Chain A
Amino acid sequence: MSGTELLSDQGLRIDGRKPNELRRIRCSLGIFAQADGSAYLEQGNTKVLAAVYGPHEIRGSKSKALHDKAFVNCQYSTATFSMGERKRRPRGDRKSTEMSTHLEETFAAAIRTELYPRSQIDIFVEVLQADGGNYTTCVNAAMMALVDAGVPLKDTVVSCTASLVKDTPLVDVNHVEQSGGSPELVVSILPHSGEIVYMSLTQRFHIDHLSKVLDTAIKGCKDIGVILKEIMKGHLTKLDTSLQAS
């Protein structure tokens, strides 16, 4: 697909957004009764469920236990109905395992694992509808679930995508823009310090554009961070007032 379809002459994208506009974010916390923490997050049409269990005893082989840290275990799963064509294997294929590993590494950096040696923290993420930015929505949803579970974090982790079409950086790409052949840069940062925890790029562009696209992605992350913080505050305030009433 050529660049003209992804970005019109008036500077509008396929779904009518401007290049620096995020998709609508909706979130609710504490939706599962069983899990220690859970969250449901929608970014545009991408819908993700996240559940957190832990810190709890190591399950399975005890050899995985780390003597000074908690072991973070993530499972990234895409539902069979999440894409246009039915997906045969929700998890266990290479892409899902790679995503799980990256989620594990991202959260192992953000969670204060040194407080729980020899234990395990599970994060389960299920993509219900995939419309671009699957990984970023998963990171954001898992982060909300961790906050809901009360797991101590060094800082919140926020993630966002950015792309480059006709020398204009776009923020928060959807599936059509992603599969159209334009590069996609995924960044996860800690909003307070601006430090990058995870970054990956698919497709290619010239190295001179890297700075621009990276800036766009980081700004997108910070904007998403502000929105998610508001949602978190709302949720915690709701919990708080119910205590005071009694």
Chain B
Amino acid sequence: MKETPLSICEKQCVIQAVKEGQRVDGRSLAEQRKTCITFGTEWGCCQVLLGNTRVMAQVSCTIQVPKSSRANEGMLFINVEMSTMAAEHFEAGRLGQQGIEVNRLVERCIKDSRCIDLESLCILVEEQAWEIRVDIHVLNHEGNLIDAATLAALGALCHFRRPDVTLDGREVIVHQLDERDPVPLTILHYPLTLSFALFDQGKIYALDPTNLEERSADGKLVLGLNAYRELCTLQISGDGVFIRKEAVLSCANVAASRAVEMVEMLKKCLAADAAERIKGKYDGLVSSVALEAERITTQSQATAYFKTPVHNLEENADEESLSVPKTKLVKDQGIVTLETKSDVSSSESDIEMEPLPPASVVKKRVYEEIDIGNDSEEEPVMLITKELT
């Protein structure tokens, strides 16, 4: 299937809005969409919801013979699956160009930056080592697959527990999960990616683009960063992008502070999940479905979404439920730079980790009493006469 064509009108509107510092869904240029991280009942299962983009990652492990060039290390494989379920234009089976790009970027961010200690995965040098496989499935594509995929992979790796192994001489005994507690992987640092869509010859950049913004942009800048402000990977791509060095550096600064917050949020979600497991009552991914029920908007929810534009920040007093990172647009030599000073409590609102909320909180769908007069009859209308009765 082909992708729905992009009209000139939509593209122009996105570009015009971005030039004025606003985005089509009401966010500011340095604002991310609402992020929800949930974990499944299996160890190593993580689902990330970035706005409407939904990605799920699952980690599994087997014992294999290590590579001859690295005989004392385990192996890590990352595989991305994009089926037609996520978007109409994805090919089933084969990864298209976009899929390969996502796969390579996740690999570079997580595997090449050596965030997992592979030497600890070795059991017997040159004979047996753990092979860790991360399978990432894109479930719904609404822009920014790379960030969602990396976050899901990282969350899954942090969540994963492998079976414990003891060496008895040269014999390897793999303990079952009920014999001995499984062992977590050794994570050295937490690398995440942050994507920017580039507009106007690289002078304007928007964090966490939606599908429409990605398609209208000149190009994309993907930065992989960890909590220590180290750059793990960087890529500028796009067939119309010309960006200046100063723009790259300012993007990197914005991304660095945002990465620190995202890592904090991930760690909080992991801790909350661990607490739930200890208590015993565990819903897994079902809890994320309950979150969906809240998303059916009625007026009260609309209050939170319907924020005032960037330059009227004083009005945000009545919308504290969703704090906005305060940004200041600074135009300097034609380059719009953003100085963000995000709220400390912003990470609080991103976490949606409570199990099924009490029934009163879930908004009930209200059926419209509005009678529809001239309906569009999609099917040929059938006339019935008295013979029926």
What is the interface of chain A, defined by CB distance below 8 A to chain B?
Answer: 63, 72, 94-95, 97-98, 101-102, 104-105, 108-109, 185, 190, 193-208, 210-211, 214-215, 218
* Chain B contact patch, size range: 35 or more
A108 to B101, CA, bound (A): 17
Interface residue? B47 (CB, 8 A): no
- Complex Cα distance, B101 from A162, in Å, reads 22
Q: Give the most central of B97, B100, B202, B242: most A CB within 10 Å.
A: B242
Residues of B contacting A: mostly? mixed
Query: Once the chains bind, are B248 and A196 in contact (CB under 8 Å)?
Result: yes
- A163: min CB distance to chain B, Å: 13
A199 and B238 within 8 A (CB): no
- Residue B340 at the chain A interface, CB threshold 8 Å: no
Looking at B133-141, B158-166, B228-236, B290-298, the stretch in contact with chain A turns out to be: B228-236
Q: What distance in Å separates the Cβ of A152 from its nearest Cβ neighbour in chain B?
A: 16
Return the contact of B241 from the options A94, A109, A205, A218 (Cβ within 8 A). Answer: A109
List 8 tightest A-B contacts by C-beta distance, closest first. A108-B239, A201-B234, A195-B242, A199-B236, A204-B232, A200-B235, A105-B239, A98-B104
- Bound Cα distance A202, B109 (Å): 8
For A197, list chain B residues within 8 Å (CB).
236, 241-242
CB distance from B30 to the nearest CB of A (A): 17
Determine whether the beta carbon of A101 is less than 8 Å from that of B97. yes
- Residues of chain B contacted by A185 (CB below 8 angstroms): 234
Which residues of chain A have C-beta atoms less than 8 A from B10's C-beta? Answer: none
Is B236 in contact with A198, judged by CB distance below 8 angstroms? yes
Among candidates B104, B237, B239, B253, residue contacting A94 with C-beta atoms closer than 8 Å: B104
Q: How far is the CA of A200 from the CA of B108 in the complex (A)?
A: 10
Residues of B within 8 A of A (CB): 2, 95, 97, 100-101, 103-104, 108, 112-113, 191, 201-202, 219, 224-226, 228-245, 248-249, 252-253, 256
Which of B95, B224, B244, B252 is close to A195, meaning CB atoms less than 8 Å apart? B244
For A202, list chain B residues within 8 Å (CB). 108, 112, 233
Chain A residues with CB under 8 A of B224? 204
Q: Report if A201-B240 is in contact (Cβ < 8 Å); known contacts: A97-B100, A207-B253, A218-B245.
A: no
Distance from B117 Cβ to chain A, minimum over Cβ atoms (Å)? 15
B17 to chain A, nearest CB (A): 24
Q: Is the CB of B112 within 8 A of A207?
A: no
Residue of B nearest to A211 (CB): B249
CA distance A193 to B201 in the complex (A): 12
In the complex, the chain B residue whose C-beta lies closest to that of A94 is B100
- In the complex, are the beta carbons of A101 and B101 less than 8 A apart? yes
